[in-house]
Every structure is written in structure tokens, then in C-alpha cells.
């Protein structure tokens, strides 16, 4: 509700709102549709997961730009206007994102993504208290999947097939990095626009447990169930196989291997010692 409320309050004059519902229809959908009559609703009888729903929404949209928003994001009133205004006339800007804060207290969730030495998406500024840093428009590697603006011309240029903009096989995790990396290989660029501010409750839709050891709680992956963690590992491996140049492997292999070993060890811990499953992940 808060997400849709924030969209309805946007000062942007020309706005098409498409809601893709992966939970099936029910009494609650009728109530919400009545409250937001200007939105176009797509109800999936079965869960098509994050990437499937995104592809549906993009295919249904008609605008030059498409903004993907998770239901755990709340936009400031001028977010879309500021984001669009921050994109220069350069025709090769294919993606843009704003400043995501965790809450009104001013903790940064993301100021765009950089590509770490381990070749995973690093949320710039994550966990920092916002004190005015990250206050210039600048290029970033990729956008956080929770809230990203994409140029349709770029999406059509890099699509894997008709209507297959994000890899629907990914479901969730690494879909944002994979798409941006695909775009960058075709010379499309991504921008961070700090004047566009939104608020994000990270992990609202994916956190399913509390780690047995408190020190693990600082890692988002530690809150995932084993199935989601397996998906994260598979998608990471697929992304690196597709896009990581052999020279990057050569220069950064210590960080890549260390990060992957950390994920496998976490998988081992979360399943309380199912070593056979971990060996299977390493071999596939």
C-alpha cells in the first residue's frame, strides 16, 4: 500500500502504472484495485518470480522509460521527475537510479552499484549514515533491482528474446547485475542521480530466517532459506560465465574464489552440515 501511495503522489504528469501480482487473485486484490483505479493490474495464477514479473510489466508498458519498483520501496514525491531530469541528452544512457535510504533516519541502502573485485554487485554506501556524500551525478556499473530506471531502446537492444529483457530463468538474485553487464557490453551506460530519493526495506520479500549466530546477521545471504541461497549461487555462476572476461578471472581470481567459498560455507552452515548438497553445487 505504501509503495502504491507513493507512486500515486508523484508530480510527474505522464505516468503509466502497471502492477504485476504474483500471488493470485483474492478479496484483497479487489480492495486494492478499487483504491488505485488508474493502475493496470496483471494477476498471475502462479508465481512467475521477480524476473518473470518484470518482463511482463516491461512488455505491457508503452513509455520510453520503464521504472521497476519492488513493493518494499517508497518514493519521495518528486522521485520520478528528479530521476528523469538527471539523465542528460546522451543517447547511450540506458539506465539510471536514485539514492535509496533504509528509513527516515538516513541510513544509506544504495547509491547505485559498483562491481567488486569478487565480481559481485556492491551497493555503494550501504549501511553508511547519510551525511551528504554521494551528491553528484556520476556513472555506476549497475542499478539495484529494487528500484531502477531503464530506457526501452536499451532493453530491446539487449533482450535475450522477444519479451525476455531480464533472464526469466534467474527468478531472483543477480538479475540486476546480469542485465546491466549485458547492456555495458553494448556500450550502454548507467547513472546515479542523487536528487531522486526513495526508501527501501531491504530483504522484506526474501528474508526468511534469523541466523543461529548473531555475527552472521550482517550478511543478507545469511537470512535466506537454502533454496534461495542455492538460486543466488547458481545465478552468480551463470553471470560470471557469461560476462567475466578471462583477463578479469586472471586478475581477480583470489577475490572471486574467496567470495564463492564464503557462499558455499554459508550454505553448509545454514543446512546444518549437508555437505553432499554443497559438493553438488560446486560441481554443477
At 170 the pLDDT is 95
User: Does residue 228 share a domain with residue 155?
Assistant: no
Q: What is the CATH number of the domain that holds 162?
A: 3.90.550.10
State which of 166, 200, 234 marks the end of a domain. 200
In a domain, 101, yes or no: yes
Q: For position 29, what pLDDT does the model report? A: 77
Residue 145 lies in a domain: yes
**In this structure, is residue 15 part of a structural domain?**
yes
The 8-class DSSP code of residue 225 comes to -
Comparing 281 with 242, which gets the higher pLDDT? 242
Q: Are both 112 and 245 inside the same structural domain? A: no
Give the position of cell 573485485.
117
Task: Say what the pLDDT of residue 220 is.
Answer: 58
pTM equals 0.87
Identify the bridge partners of residue 108 per DSSP, sorted by sequence position. 101
Rounded Cα distance between 186 and 99, Å, is 26
Both 62 and 8 in one domain: the answer is: yes
pLDDT tens-digit profile of 21-53? 888 776 677 788 888 888 899 988 888 899 999
Rounded to an integer, what distance in angstroms lies between the CA atom of residue 57 and that of residue 74?
19
Residues 185 and 222 in one domain: no
274 pLDDT more than 60 = no
Residue 28 domain flag: yes
If asked whether residues 177 and 121 sit together in one domain, one would say yes
pLDDT, one tens digit per residue, over 146-185 is 999 999 999 999 999 999 999 999 998 999 999 999 999 9
Give the Å distances, CA to CA, from 198 to 3, 50, 107, 126, 137.
10, 20, 12, 14, 16
In a domain, 50, yes or no: yes
Question: For residue 26, what is its C-alpha cell?
Answer: 483474492
Range of the domain at 121: 2-200
**Do 196 and 218 sit in the same domain of this protein?**
no
Q: How many domains does the chain have?
A: 2
Report how far residue 156's alpha carbon sits from residue 174's, in angstroms, rounded to the nearest whole number. Answer: 20
Least confident among 94-103, 140-149, 193-202, 217-226: 217-226
Same domain, 129 and 21: yes
Same domain, 164 and 250: no
**Domain final residue, candidates 200, 227, 258:** 200
Q: How confident is the model at residue 271 (pLDDT cuts 50, 70, 90)?
A: low
Same-domain pairing of 19 and 107: yes
Residue 189 sits in the same domain as residue 225: no
Q: Could you tell me if residue 87 is inside a domain?
A: yes
Over residues 250-265, the mean pLDDT reads 92
The grid coordinates of residue 68 equal 521497476
Q: Answer yes or no: do 184 and 252 share one domain.
A: no
Amino acid at each position: 500500500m505504501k509503495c502504491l501511495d507513493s507512486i500515486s503522489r508523484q508530480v510527474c504528469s505522464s505516468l503509466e502504472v502497471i502492477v504485476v501480482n504474483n500471488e493470485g487473485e483474492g478479496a484483497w486484490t479487489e480492495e486494492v484495485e478499487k483504491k488505485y483505479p488508474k493502475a493496470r493490474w496483471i494477476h498471475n495464477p502462479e508465481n512467475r518470480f521477480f524476473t518473470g514479473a518484470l518482463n511482463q510489466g516491461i512488455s505491457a508498458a508503452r513509455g520510453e522509460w520503464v521504472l521497476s519498483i519492488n513493493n518494499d520501496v517508497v518514493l519521495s514525491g518528486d522521485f520520478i521527475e528528479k530521476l528523469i531530469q538527471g539523465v542528460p541528452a546522451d543517447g547511450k544512457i540506458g539506465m539510471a537510479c536514485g539514492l535509496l535510504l533504509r528509513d527516515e533516519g538516513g541510513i544509506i541502502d544504495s547509491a547505485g552499484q559498483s562491481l567488486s573485485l569478487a565480481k559481485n554487485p556492491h551497493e555503494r554506501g550501504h549501511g553508511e549514515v547519510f551525511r551528504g556524500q554521494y551528491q553528484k551525478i556520476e556513472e555506476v556499473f549497475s542499478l539495484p533491482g529494487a528500484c531502477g530506471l531503464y530506457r526501452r531502446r536499451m532493453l530491446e537492444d539487449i533482450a535475450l528474446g522477444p519479451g525476455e529483457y531480464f533472464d526469466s530463468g534467474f527468478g531472483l538474485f543477480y538479475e540486476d547485475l546480469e542485465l546491466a553487464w549485458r547492456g555495458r557490453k553494448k556500450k550502454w551506460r548507467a547513472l546515479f542521480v542523487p536528487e531522486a530519493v526513495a526508501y527501501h526495506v531491504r530483504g522484506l520479500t526474501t528474508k526468511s530466517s534469523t541466523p543461529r549466530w548473531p555475527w552472521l546477521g550482517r550478511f543478507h545471504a545469511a537470512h535466506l532459506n537454502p533454496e534461495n541461497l542455492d538460486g543466488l549461487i547458481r545465478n552468480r555462476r551463470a553471470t560470471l560465465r557469461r560476462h567475466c572476461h578471462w583477463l578479469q578471472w586472471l586478475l581477480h581470481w583470489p577475490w572471486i574464489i574467496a567470495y564463492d567459498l564464503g557462499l558455499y560455507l554459508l550454505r553448509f552452515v545454514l543446512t546444518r552440515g549437508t555437505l553432499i548438497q554443497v559438493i553438488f553445487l560446486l560441481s554443477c
